[in-house]
Amino acid sequence: MLARARQLFIFLGLVAACLLAGCSDGQGRLDERGWPRSLVFAYWVDEEVPGLRFDAIDSLSAYLGERLGLEVDLKRSTQYGPVIEAMRANKVDISMYGTFAYILASAKAGAECIVIRGTEAGPNGYHSLILTGADSPIDSLEDLKRHGSELSFAFANPASTSGHLIPRAYLELQGIYPERDFKELVFPGKHNATLLSVLSGKVDVGCVSQNTYRKLVSLGRIDPDELKVVWTSPAIPDGCIAVREGLPDSLKLAIQSALVELPSEYPEVWQEVKRIYTYSANPESRYMLADDSHYDPIREVASRVANIDMLN
């Protein structure tokens, strides 16, 4: 099943040029600073509240365009794969990435993280959840190990940290190898689809981001009394905003500075932008300088997980 997921990821990469057609890396169209005259900012749609994310990203792109003195072209996607492949092809310049997706993008496309959300205490974190129905007899990872051959299990997306990498790693620590030990293994593709699959009984057990769980509860889309949390992960470092490595260093620094200064220098714009994070664990946190080393612990986890070869 994982091989099929990898094939899907590769296929999405092959169609990236079609999904993001019209993008340009700006070569031959440089201004007096040596910067491209336009940038492509890729984002993906929030399926639960699509208008909210679009309005916030639109405000952010307009702000960046004004601060940097160039055009910012928004491109939407529903998967990480096409965005990573488009960045590798110099068709995307800036993107928001989830944690594992950033690790993939840094390895495959040379993406460079520039900001992460956090506070003076450090970068934000979030959690992965493994859930089942409230009336399920499964209460622990040990129960999963004991009854795995009777259960269908859903990971969210191959490139998801909380919906794949981290729960897979902890399952393997318990001696549970999903392809071998579960009756059926599926990848619904989205966290909300995974959660709703568990809720409807299409699958017995699934793993999702705690942020998605919190969002759907807040929106009244799910009743938490109908679900049971079997396992909660340790904190995972938040995703980041990253740029492609081929951009001029002076432009990367300018983008980074604009984002870090946004809350204090342009609070009215920040009020719009931070709506993206309404359902996160700490919606009031701000952009702060990111360091690629923030993600080394997750890389270490990935290196120890059997059958994870997307980074190769």
pLDDT in tens, 59-80: 999 999 999 999 999 998 878 8
Average pLDDT, the chain: 87
Q: Check residue 64 and give its pLDDT.
A: 97
Structure tokens at 28: 């031959």
- 118-121-123 Cα angle (round to 5): 30
Express each pLDDT in 149-163 by its tens digit.
Answer: 999 999 998 888 899
Residue keyed to tokens 């259960």: 151
Q: Is the pLDDT of residue 291 over 70?
A: yes
Q: Check residue 80 and give its pLDDT.
A: 84
- The distance in angstroms from the start CA to the end CA of the chain is 18
Q: Check residue 50 and give its pLDDT.
A: 66
Rounded mean pLDDT, 81-97: 95
pLDDT cut 90: percent of the chain above it: 66
CATH superfamily, region 128-234: Periplasmic binding protein-like II (3.40.190.10)
Q: Are 96 and 280 in contact (CB under 8 A)?
A: no
Distance (Å, whole) CA 15 – CA 29? 26
Q: Which residue has the higher pLDDT, 14 or 247?
A: 247
Q: Which residue has the higher pLDDT, 186 or 1?
A: 186
Q: Is the pLDDT of residue 22 over 80?
A: no
- Band (pLDDT 50/70/90 cuts) for residue 24 is very low
User: Torsions phi, psi of 169, nearest 5?
Assistant: -60, -45
Chain region(s) in the chain for CATH 3.40.190.10: 2-124+237-304, 128-234
CATH code of domain 2-124+237-304: 3.40.190.10
The answer, as to whether pTM is greater than 0.75, is yes
Rounded mean pLDDT, 266-274: 93
Q: Check residue 4 and give its pLDDT.
A: 46
Q: Is the pLDDT of residue 206 over 60?
A: yes
Q: Is the pLDDT of residue 6 over 60?
A: no
Q: Is the pLDDT of residue 224 over 90?
A: yes
User: Torsions phi, psi of 104, nearest 5?
Assistant: -65, -45
Express each pLDDT in 129-178 by its tens digit.
Answer: 999 999 999 999 999 999 999 999 999 988 888 999 999 999 998 899 99
Residue type, 78: T
Residue 223 exposed, middle or buried by CB count within 10 Å (0-12, 13-18, 19+): exposed
Express each pLDDT in 180-194 by its tens digit.
Answer: 999 999 999 889 999
Q: Which residue has the higher pLDDT, 58 or 23?
A: 58
Q: Is the pLDDT of residue 46 over 90?
A: no
Q: Is the pLDDT of residue 272 over 50?
A: yes
Q: Which residue has the higher pLDDT, 287 or 54?
A: 287
Q: Which residue has the higher pLDDT, 155 or 45?
A: 155
Distance (Å, whole) CA 199 – CA 222? 8
Closest-CA residue to 276 (of 88, 106, 108, 41) = 41
pLDDT cut 70: percent of the chain above it: 88
The region of weakest confidence among 70-74, 266-270, 307-311 is 307-311
Q: Check residue 310 and give its pLDDT.
A: 42
